[in-house]
Chain A
């Protein structure tokens, strides 16, 4: 493939939105209330819509028989390069919101920069997506504040969720060889430069939520290299079941 680095770079962004969208979609019909159920499902659909735009572009680069569906559904676990954060289980509403919040703040900062990519397709997708993500960020931040500054129970659960998920945040700012190649060409965003503003924004919301900012300096990584937590296989078996069982099926 001619544009191997660009292809890998796109998957590095789109696998995050795909897996987080799939995770959040699990809540469809199971949200804590009708209103939050619909809100989470909407956000999930936003993320999957963005994923489609990225994968359609990636499929074009790959050529052969590749389509958005083969990229989404027919890879093996090691070929997915999403960060570990997005594959973490929902557990309770605090974990669902915590994961969403820790990703949304990053996602917004990423798209802000990606809008200025020298690649017109990526810049157009970023331009369209950032409005959606701006809402996602507001929704999840509001909930972090409500739960953190709510009852004793909601505060405990929200703090537990932030403590559990904190170890996955550093990986957001790691880069692969393909990422570096794209940064050098002005196509990719140098996520290393987003790190300071990310932790500033996250800490500001946690302060408002009256939650403690975790002090742990121990971070987990691997997703960007295709090495996932034990949860990933379960997501993929759910997500890929139809295409594996009935190859080439369509609705």
Chain B
């Protein structure tokens, strides 16, 4: 049955104030069924307060073959992390 159904990506907001995070994917015939299935598959242990579903075909992904040109140039640019500041002692949790 589900072989013929399109794939959907499921995003769940764990609690109010947090962003939706990608939880996984599942098969469903349409958006409504995807929501119901997501509710049963991903929130049955009280994991969420809101669900988004997006049909997987609408997600444009970067090509792993281009990882070199996309991501490697950032590896030697440590100065892009703000780690060179002296933090006063009284500032906690930085």
- What is the interface of chain A, defined by CB distance below 8 A to chain B? 32-36, 38-39, 42, 138-139, 142, 146
- Chain B residues with CB below 8 A from A34, complex form: 2, 26-27, 41
Partner of B40, one of A32, A39, A142: A39
CB contact under 8 A between A35 and B26, given known A42-B40, A42-B44: yes
User: Which one of B26, B29, B40, B44 has the highest number of Cβ atoms from chain A below 10 Å of its Cβ?
Assistant: B40
**Any chain A CB within 8 A of the CB of B89?**
no
- B44→A139 contact, CB < 8 A: no
User: Interface on chain A toward B: helix, strand, loop, or mixed SS?
Assistant: helix
- B32→A142 contact, CB < 8 A: yes
Give complex CA distance A32, B36 in Å.
Answer: 16
- A38→B2 contact, CB < 8 A: no
Give complex CA distance A34, B26 in Å.
Answer: 9
Q: Interface size class for chain B?
A: 10 to 19
- Chain A residues with CB below 8 A from B29, complex form: 146
- Chain A residues with CB below 8 A from B14, complex form: none
Number of A-B contacts (CB under 8 A): 36
Give complex CA distance A170, B1 in Å.
Answer: 33
CB contact under 8 A between A39 and B26, given known A32-B1, A33-B1, A33-B2: no
- Chain B residues with CB below 8 A from A42, complex form: 40, 44
> Which of chain B's residues has its CB closest to A150's CB?
B29
- Chain A residues with CB below 8 A from B44, complex form: 38, 42
- A38→B32 contact, CB < 8 A: no
> Which of chain B's residues has its CB closest to A154's CB?
B1
- A35→B40 contact, CB < 8 A: yes
> Which of chain B's residues has its CB closest to A139's CB?
B36
- Chain A residues with CB below 8 A from B49, complex form: none
- B36→A142 contact, CB < 8 A: yes
- Chain A residues with CB below 8 A from B1, complex form: 32-33, 36
Give complex CA distance A92, B29 in Å.
Answer: 19
Give complex CA distance A93, B52 in Å.
Answer: 28
Give complex CA distance A203, B44 in Å.
Answer: 31
Known: A33-B1, A33-B5, A38-B44. 16 other contacts (CB 8 A): A32-B2, A33-B2, A34-B2, A34-B27, A35-B2, A35-B27, A35-B40, A36-B1, A36-B2, A36-B37, A38-B40, A39-B36, A139-B36, A142-B32, A142-B33, A142-B36
Give complex CA distance A146, B28 in Å.
Answer: 12
